[in-house]
Structure 1
Amino acid sequence: MSEFNNVSVVKKANVYFGGNVSSRTIRFADGSVKTLGFMLPGEYTFNTADPEIMEIIDGDLDVLLPGSENWLTITGGQSFDVPANAKFTVNIKTATDYCCSFLK
């Protein structure tokens, strides 16, 4: 899906890591929430509350998922799942555009 229809957007950006990662929150009529974001090259560690699906729209990164000792390479068009109450690290190789879906 290349666009979302009939949504509300939180105007204030979510800004992390000195501005190297930013996103906007998108709310759907059914109560689901996603963020659309952009990450500049660098290494970033995130904590989750809810399970997430990280869809990489464009870019190139490695991700270290909870419980794994091996980094996975992810490129545009791919995604990865993150469990609830977890920590994961991404190593962004090229500017990366993403969509994060929060699952409940």
Structure 2
Amino acid sequence: MLQVNEYFNGTVKSIALENAEGNATIGVMEIGEYEFGTATIEHMTVTSGTLLVQLPGETEWKTFNKGETFIVEKDVKFKVKAEMQVAYHCLYV
């Protein structure tokens, strides 16, 4: 069954699924800065646009472009900045 998620007053939206390959979401973000928490390890791939990411314990922002993936550990918080609308795929491990 698909589940629709909405965060930050509707500026981040995703559709989640669970199948034989695991749990995943496909989502979109409006321009803005957001902080997320993780409950599992997350593999996040930018599928459209560019996303600036500040991973836990780091002070610098790293740029991830279309097709690039970053990994976030379990039970941490991380920040992202979207300077344009961004689409992403997130695989929960």
Instruction: Tell me whether the two structures share a fold, i.e. TM-score over 0.5.
Output: yes
Corresponding residue for residue 81 of structure 1: 71
Amino acid of the structure 2 residue aligned with 1:17: F
Corresponding residue for residue 98 of structure 1: 88
SS in 2 for 1:36: strand
The normalised TM-score by structure 2 is 0.95
Which sections of structure 2, spanning at least 5 residues, go unmatched? none
| CA-based RMSD | 1.0
Q: For this pair of structures, how many residues does the alignment match?
A: 93
- Between the aligned residues of both structures, percent identity stands at 37
**Shift in Å, 1:47:** 0.3
**Shift in Å, 1:94:** 1.0
Q: Counterparts of 2:39 and 2:23 in 1: how far apart (Å)?
A: 13
The normalised TM-score by structure 1 is 0.85
| Match of residue 25, structure 1, among 8, 16, 24 | 16
- Rg comparison, structure with higher value: 1
Amino acid of the structure 2 residue aligned with 1:20: T
What is the CA deviation profile of residues 13-66 of structure 1, one whole-angstrom value per residue up to 9, with x for unaligned ones? 100001000001111125x10000001110000000100000100111210000
| Match of residue 46, structure 2, among 43, 48, 56 | 56
Structure 1 consecutive aligned stretches of length 4 or more whose deviation exceeds 2 Å: none
Q: Counterparts of 1:29 and 1:83 in 2: how far apart (Å)?
A: 22
Corresponding residue for residue 5 of structure 1: none
Bigger relative contact order, structure 1 or 2 (CA pairs below 8 A, ≥6 apart): 2
Corresponding residue for residue 25 of structure 2: 35
Which sections of structure 1, spanning at least 5 residues, go unmatched? 1-8
